[in-house]
Amino acid sequence: MIEGGEPLVGEVGVSGAKNAALPILCASLLCPDTLRLGNVPHLNDISTMLRLLGQMGVVVAMDGNEALTLDSSGLSNPFAPYDMVKTMRASILVLGPLLARCGEARVSLPGGCAIGARPVDQHIKGLQAMGAEIRVEGGYVHATAKRLKGARIVTDMVTVTGTENLMMAASLAEGETVIENAAREPEIVDLANCLIAMGADIVGAGTDRICVRGGERLHGAAYSVMPDRIETGTFLCAAAASGGEITLTHTSAALLDSVIEKLREAGCVIDGSTDSIHLKAPQRLKAVSLRTAPYPAFPTDMQAQFMAINCVADGSAVIRETIFENRFMHAVELIRLGADIRIDANTAVVTGVPKLDGATVMATDLRASASLVIAGLVARGQTLIERIYHLDRGYERIEEKLARLGARVRRVR
Ligand code: UD1
């Protein structure tokens, strides 16, 4: 429940990145030693992944509030059941490591999700190129390989988890693997750095050509997860839309150039360094058009939040979504709050209105929920957001962090 109208003011810390922590947790499957991880965010997606790893035989221990240790010396069950995979597509990230370490894996196909079909054909194609035998049967990917062999893989499109799966598998393969058309997201670099700390030989992460020289085994390591650039961007948008002034700590401006550039275009004054970001919003934002594309271009995971800020900006903006085919579900909910949005296929035209009005709205996916929170913060009166379990998948204690910045927000039953 949000009572809108308060500008966000103050300082808040950003949590560890969900999309870096998830593949890094899966990297623990690659070796029988202990992986000690810091800055792992407390999120439902992380708990789901830990449960999934736990039922495979990985022993997880909390070490203080922020650190986790994972011990996969007793890994015995290379199986990811549908019940777990269906709640979180990132579960497919166990496929590469399981196959590389155990020589077999049975992982449920994730199926579609609200924002689009999201197949995993590129993960499968890459592993087959490395010599895996793969059957898709009964909704499961059954994969076997005596030992994976290095290969040159050219993916048909840029895929983040696909690149991560192949990079992990390649680190235990025989010989060199080259992944062409690799995703360049900072989370890929973070995973690569963790794998390197575990003894992997990886060059080129962060470019579109990654070379992995496989080894016989990896070893334990200690690693700290990077800051969440999408949480960072979401708080920047919330402060911008509410006419506020905030400082975000434990995050880096270098992770979100394209987002900061758009916020500056909207009229915000932003000072960023490698450990904090300060934003001061103008009286009223200017509308900003954008097109989503793989990193370093504008992230699809920030599209919904920018739609929300354009709803109350001065002028009209054109938003093009090029990654997922059905990622405008937040638009109809924003329209319930009084926004002026027209959708035509993958394009949304948003014309700013002076004010939104609070209403009951429904969250449909993770980032859509974030856009409704931003809209609720600027709307007149009360906005009740239902199905906030989507938010808890990806934002750590969001209502506490917003309240610390002066928002009137509370969790209600
Ligand atoms: C990751 C992120 C997600 C983000 C997305 C795009 C994680 C855990 N999730 O998701 O938050 O929105 O990147 O930045 O890191 N595709 C195929 N075949 C494949 C793989 C992908 O057709 O085998 C398509 C997808 O349907 C989509 C596009 O490629 O249209 C990009 O998807 P991908 O980068 O794989 O997204 P995820 O890794 O699932």
Ligand 1 centroid, distance to 180 Cα (angstroms): 16
Residues 254 and 312: their CA atoms lie apart, in Å, by 27
Instruction: Please give the number of the atom of ligand 1 that sits closest to the Cα of 89.
Output: 39
Per-residue DSSP letter, 323: S
Nearest-atom index, ligand 1, CA of 187: 15
pLDDT in tens, 259-282: 999 999 999 999 999 899 999 999
Just list the catalytic residues. Answer: 113
Q: Give tens-digit pLDDT for 22-80.
A: 999 999 999 999 999 999 999 999 999 999 999 999 999 987 777 899 999 999 999 99
Chain centroid, CA 136 distance in Å: 27
Q: How far apart are CA 245 and CA 239, in angstroms?
A: 6
pLDDT of residue 295: 97
C-alpha of 229 from chain center? 9
Indicate which atom in ligand 1 lies nearest the CA of residue 124.
23
Q: What percent of the chain has pLDDT over 70?
A: 98
DSSP letter, residue 28? G
How remote is the CA of residue 245 from the centroid of ligand 1, in Å?
33
**Element (H or E) spanning 264, and its range?**
helix 257-265
Cα separation, 247 vs 5, in Å, equals 19
CA pseudo-torsion sign 43, 49, 55, 58: negative
Ligand 1 pocket member 157 (CB < 6 A): yes
Q: What is the pTM of this model?
A: 0.97
Mutate to test the pocket of ligand 1, among 161, 168, 225, 301 (most ligand atoms within 8 A of CB): 161
Provide the pLDDT for residue 80: 96
Region 213-232: mean pLDDT is: 97
For Cα atoms 29, 31, 33, give the angle at the middle one, nearest 5 degrees: 110
**154-185 pLDDT, tens digit each:** 999 999 999 999 999 999 999 999 999 999 99
* pLDDT > 70? residue 111: no
| pLDDT more than 90, % of the chain | 92
Q: What is the pLDDT of residue 87?
A: 86
Band of the pLDDT at 115, cuts 50, 70, 90? low
The protein residue whose alpha carbon is closest to atom 29 in ligand 1 is 159
Mean pLDDT for the stretch of residues 373-398: 95
Separation of alpha carbons 290 and 81, rounded Å = 39
Distance (Å) from CA 46 to ligand 1 centroid: 18
* Beta carbon of 162 within 6 Å of any ligand 1 atom: yes
Tell me, in angstroms, the distance from the centre of ligand 1 to residue 260's CA. Answer: 23
Average pLDDT over every residue of 103-120 = 81
pLDDT at 110 over 90: no
Question: Over the stretch 327-380, which tens digit does the pLDDT of each residue have?
Answer: 999 999 999 999 999 999 999 999 999 999 999 999 988 999 999 999 999 999
Q: What is the secondary structure of 280-291 as a DSSP string?
A: E--SSPBP--EE
Mean pLDDT estimate for the chain: 95
Distance 411 CA to ligand 1 centre (A): 31
Confidence grade of residue 113 (pLDDT, cut at 50, 70, 90):
low
pLDDT of residue 116: 66
Residue 325 has pLDDT above 90, yes or no: no
Q: Which residue has the tokens 């999934």?
A: 52
**Of 187, 179, 184, 219, nearest to 200 (Cα)?**
219
In 3D space, the residue among 270, 283, 336, 269 whose CA is nearest the CA of residue 308 turns out to be 336
300 lines ligand 1 (CB under 6 A): yes
161 lines ligand 1 (CB under 6 A): yes
Give the tens place of pLDDT for each residue, 297-306: 999 999 999 9
**Whether the CB of 111 sits within 6 Å of ligand 1:** no
Ligand 1 centre from 159 Cα, in Å? 5
Q: 159 CB less than 6 Å from ligand 1?
A: yes
What 3-state class would DSSP assign to 369? helix
Cβ(165) – ligand 1 distance below 6 Å: no
Closest ligand 1 atom to 323 CA: 30
302 CA from centroid of ligand 1 (Å): 14
Give the closest residue (by CA) to ligand 1 atom 15. Answer: 19
